[in-house]
A = this chain, B = another copy of it.
Amino acid sequence: MKELAIVLLSSGMDSAVCTSIASQNYRLALLHFQYGQKAYKKELECFQKLVEFFKPEKAEIIYLPFFKNWGGSSLISNEMEIPEKEEEEEIPSTYVAFRNAIFLSIATAWAEIIGATKIFIGVNQIDFSGYPDCRSEFIEAFQKAISLGTKPETKIKIETPIINFSKKEIVKIGIKLGTPFHLTWSCYRETEVACGKCASCKLRLKAFKEAEVKDPIPYQIS
């Protein structure tokens, strides 16, 4: 029997492609977080559709409401606007403090309990948003924490299959593997159709354009 892998699935294009990649060789356990992000409804809706599509062995939605109270990120806080222009700060205002570490630590706990041997995460350090917790140095350090902080017999490895791919390459791999891009949501905003103006929409639009593939989801501007 194939081994079990957890995939962190936000419902964005990167994590959806990661799910397609993981599904080639593993039984799937899909993990989604609702942490107060503005696009929470769309992401949840897409996650549920992706669960129907991938038919994983397990699927779990974890609610982390504390970020909403703490604020500090334009991805979450209603008092901060999602930016449309390049920001001057090194780290964009959409950065959510240590988010990937929280996601990975909860994924690790679940993996240890259900016996999963891999955790797939769709971080990317090429066409990326500049978040520190998306870089390979961080992932390597976290891997070490997993190895030292779990039972001696537990073997869990973080897999980052798209970390060094361009967004264009990610689209191409997704097309090849049949990733259902029409069921994904990348926009930072909670709108009926993607805004096309936030950093995440811009990266996605650029990716499909460069890959010479039509993005199947509608945009407010095109």
Chain A residues at the B interface, C-beta cutoff of 8 Å: 60, 62, 66-67, 70-72, 90-91, 95-102, 104-106, 108-110, 112-114, 132-133, 135, 137-138, 141-142, 144-152
Copies of this chain assembled into the complex: 2
Say yes or no: B110 contacts A133, CB within 8 Å.
no
Among B72, B91, B112, B142, which residue has its beta carbon within 8 angstroms of that of A145? B142
Say yes or no: A97 contacts B112, CB within 8 Å.
yes
Task: Identify the 4 closest CB pairs spanning chains A and B, nearest first.
Answer: A133-B149, A101-B105, A97-B112, A97-B109
Say yes or no: B108 contacts A105, CB within 8 Å.
no
* Distance of A70 Cα from B116 Cα, bound (Å): 13
Min CB gap A91→B, angstroms: 5
Say yes or no: A72 contacts B113, CB within 8 Å.
yes
Cβ-closest chain B residue relative to A101? B105
* Distance of A141 Cα from B144 Cα, bound (Å): 6
